[in-house]
Amino acid sequence: MKKVIVACGSGVATSQTVASKVMRLLKEQGHDIKVEVVDLKSVDSHMKDSAAYIAITKIDKTYPIPVINGIAFLTGIGMDAELQKIINACK
């Protein structure tokens, strides 16, 4: 099963909300993708076994996997496009 990670500053509030929404949307579309919440400090350690990174904060760093705009899942603006990026990254 492919895995994507979601991170906000603490890994307990905003990222949980986004992860729940992403999991629900993926399940509704029939995708079996694991969504895991992590804190910002541990993002690098999850890169090797993750297909995408859903970022809630501004990213100034480059990562070897696609970085998804997590704010889209909070606002609904551009959410479908970001969801498709997750699905594509997990193919």
Residue 36 half-sphere exposure toward CB, CA atoms < 13 A:
18
In whole angstroms, what is the distance from residue 37 CA to residue 40 CA? Answer: 10
Q: Is 90 one of the annotated active-site residues of the chain? A: no
Sign of CA dihedral 91, 67, 76, 27: positive
DSSP states of 10-50: SSSSHHHHHHHHHHHHHHHTT---EEEEEEGGGHHHHGGG-
Catalytic residue among 5, 8, 22, 33: 8
* Residues annotated as part of the active site: 8
